[in-house]
Structure 1
Amino acid sequence: MQVVALHEGVIVARSVKWQTTCTLLHRGEETFVVDSLVYPDELDALPGILGQAGWALSGLLATHADWDHLLARLVFPEASLGVAETTAARLRAEPGRAAGRLRDHDDEDYVQRPRALSLGQVQALPVPGRLELGADAELELVPADGHTADGMAVWAPFARVLCCGDYLSPVEIPMLSPGGDREAYLATLRRLAPYVAQADWVVPGHGAPIDAQRAAAILREDTAYLEALAAGDAPLPIARRGKAMRAIHAENVARAGGGA
């Protein structure tokens, strides 16, 4: 796990698994934890990171309902979990799916955990919308679907930091998961563009935080890739052409219907 401070009120931790990111956003007396790390020792470190910073947890946010973004509940079982209304609907429609996917992952990686994942009460947040953070700041919640059928990005204006979920990744090409959609993904990229232009830092769901210039370049690459995907001949971005990315690309072509 790697931990870096991007701002006096922003700390990002990055998991060994898939470089999954977890972002702590702090202002005044409040702190939200956005998304999660994956392995038990990484999750167990989160209370210590909060303690070292002198921050008290106010609640959890998840950018979407994929299991690897929901695991902060394991270490903060009493905290509220805020998600977009689309994500709350997906969680209701897929009861137990995240816990089942986590069990499958743990079986493959020989991971043992002290407890099973239980999401408990989930708070559905209106998106687009705003969420107060401290006495003098707000987080802006931005619709972000296309990777999946649900999701939101979180813009922290006080720090000029965008937590964009599984978009704009320097290590992963656009992924059309089950329920995802190419046109919706492109619409999300267009929606994120003005936030990228204002950002000091962009925190993708997978990969290290990147500056606005790099994020803008990835946004252009991902837009070109998805536009070409409709014809079935989309070239992979130069820096993201490994074996795993070729496998994701093959699934994308199937889901996008090739030249359909």
Structure 2
Amino acid sequence: MKLDHLAALNAEREARRPAILVTDTGDGTQRLVLETEIDRDPLAEVLRERLLSGKSGIVEAEGRSFFLTVQVPPVRLLVVGAVHISQALCPMAAALELDVTVIDPRTAFATPERFPDVTLLAEWPDDAFARLAPLDRYTALAALTHDPKIDDPALTAALKAECFYVGALGSRKSHARRLDRLHEGGLGPEDTARIHGPIGLDIGAVTPAEIAVSILAEVVATLRRDRIRGKAKGERADCMRHDIDD
């Protein structure tokens, strides 16, 4: 790998931007393709598929053989609320190789004893986000506290950063009130339409663990749908979601 390509890949990795190094195995020529340049590349369709899988490897195209070195940012799940659902959600998300962080300023809930082996920030969301890498399109956010003072700022930040998934716990009535607050705060209907609320796929979930499963299923479905189908920003999956009564 040429030093300039290595430096460019490192820069993209640091900025949490995906990129693919294309190497012609026949003559050794290389080109670095950034995500924003894929549509203009001769191997556009193959490159999009590889970004979806995140896997490097050899592909055959145009009668030639290419090795694709695929670099994608690790998918992050920011869980706002150190609640029972979060306790069930974190180990499941870790098993899916998601980079999980729990954020909650309520120190009685945000304790290492309740969340072992999890990055835990006992801070308000705005303060926590200032210390983390910037929110981006490889970040999912689940707001689970039911407390507008905590959830609303987190949802606003995630929507403005165009996180690929933004979900919020609550019944349809509480979600309607949430939308009113966010609109009063300056967000438009097109922005708030991206919120998955009530959060999670409709699997009839009742227990915290079942709700956690429904949330993770929706996160994965949104991630794969957005990456492979190239859906327009803000479009949501056509699926039912479970309600949680007030």
TM-score using structure 1 length: 0.28
**Structure with greater helix percent:** 2
TM-score using structure 2 length: 0.29
